Amino acid sequence: MTESAGPLLDQYGRAATDLRVSLTDRCNLRCQYCMPAEGLEWLPGDETLTDDEVVRLVRIGVELLGVRQVRLTGGEPLLRRGLVGLVAQLAALRPRPQIAMTTNALGLARSARALADAGLDRVNVSLDSVRSETFVKITRRDRLADVIAGLEAAAVAGLTPVKVNAVLLRGANETEAPELLAWCIDRGYQLRIIEQMPLDAQHGWSREQMVTAEETLARLEAEFDLVPTGRPRGSAPAEEFLVDGGPATVGVIASVTRPFCGDCDRVRLTADGQVRNCLFAREESDLRESLRAGADDQEIAARWRIAMWGKRPGHGIDDPSFLQPSRPMSAIGG
């Protein structure tokens, strides 16, 4: 970092080093816990950051604000035109950030190699079921085969460790965790099961319906021997378990029932250039406006630091005053 650099601190002593960049709010799936069947009104093109604007903001993050890891997300990041070129520009930044991507893997079979060559380090692929009918029920699209092909291509291209993220929904795939784990272990993918959060556009989440981490662990333990790896959870939200003595592991991310907000090191940038200091933040800070008004790097960095300082201590899902953010997960960047 340069002399006028300083980390993205908040009032509770946390420093954000993990930047999640949403590259688009569009998506080619319609996962029930994220988007309504009819989709959403997409951001107009001129409101979406250009490649140059994305690269400039990430450069400011890396050079002035202590960002060490960049995760590309969305919406579906693979739908962003020119993604390979953008990754190459991010990989050329110094200090070079780790570059990861969270994706539904549709089309990854075609682009995994080019993305890896451009500098993408790892992928997390979202896959909630390996049964075609359940996949269709959750995502409202018949694309399981493309996801499987995308996963295979990611592994071959060395985008490893390939992680699989699954959300369990009651009445859809809540009993499928053991099957998904066996499938991932067979192929060398690391499964992580994430509790569903109140981030769907339709506001259909309910605490009573949510499949808890505890319930999932009980289902897994009925079929596998799970032993905590003992690795400190730190800012990595998954509680990790060795499966049947290892080396395979499974992660459980209890975002709702065992929140990890105290160790959170994340900050988010939406596709239209708003900084969000938390998934559940109610306010955003408009960096696109600063960029387009001609602000210099230091001014933008200062604005970003102020945005982080206001980060709340926790997401407060269990507080009576909790309000779901107005933007859904697909527009925030998961």
| Locus of tokens 């991010």 | 90
Distances (CA, A) of 283 to 100, 106, 142, 169, 267: 26, 32, 36, 29, 13
SS3 for 164?
strand
Cα separation, 52 vs 54, whole angstroms: 6
Site for ligand SF4 in 103-162 (CB under 6 A): 104, 126
Q: With CA atoms as reference, report the closest residue to 259 among 206, 219, 315.
A: 315
- Identify which of residues 211 and 300 has a Cβ nearer to ligand SF4 in the complex: 211
Q: Which stretch binds ligand SF4 (CB under 6 A): 22-30, 57-65, 268-276, 292-300?
A: 22-30
Closest C-alpha to 239, from 264, 259, 266, 222: 259
Binding mask 86-125 for ligand SAM (x = CB under 6 A): ----------------xxx---------------------
Please tell me whether residue 330 binds ligand SF4 under the rule CB under 6 A. Answer: yes
Tell me if 27 contacts ligand SF4 by CB under 6 A.
yes
Is 43 a binder of ligand SF4 (CB under 6 A)?
A: no
User: Are 103 and 80 in contact, with CB atoms under 8 Å apart?
Assistant: no
- Integer angstrom CA distances of residue 236 from 92, 262, 317: 26, 11, 20
CB of 166 to ligand SAM, least distance (A): 7
Residue 126 beta carbon to ligand SF4: minimum distance, rounded to whole angstroms: 6
Q: Is 105 exposed, middle or buried (0-12, 13-18, 19+ CB in 10 A)?
A: buried
Q: Could you tell me if 5 and 67 are in contact, meaning their C-beta atoms sit under 8 angstroms apart?
A: no
**Two tokens at 330?**
């697909």
- 98 phi and psi angles, rounded to 5 deg: -70, 135
Binding of ligand SF4 at residue 75 (CB under 6 A)? yes
Task: Please list every residue from 124 through 153 that binds ligand SAM, using CB under 6 A.
Answer: 126
- Decide: is 201 part of the binding site for ligand SAM (CB under 6 A): no
* DSSP letter for each residue of 95-132: SPPEEEEEE--TTHHHHHHHHHHHT--EEEEE---SSH
Identified binder of ligand SF4 from the candidate list 29, 169, 177, 332, rule CB under 6 A:
29
Of 80-88, 154-162, 196-204, 281-289: span binding ligand SAM (CB under 6 A): 196-204
Minimum CB distance to ligand SF4 smaller for 74 or for 325: 74
Name which position in 65, 67, 191, 199 contacts ligand SAM (CB under 6 A).
Answer: 199
Residue nearest to ligand SAM (CB): 334
Task: Give the range of 71-79, 131-139, 147-155, 268-276 binding ligand SAM by CB under 6 A.
Answer: 71-79
For ligand SF4, the binding residues (CB under 6 A) are 27, 29-31, 34-35, 74-76, 104, 126, 329-330
Q: Which positions lie near ligand SAM, rule CB under 6 A?
A: 27, 33-34, 73-74, 76, 102-104, 126, 165, 167, 194, 196-197, 199-200, 329-330, 334
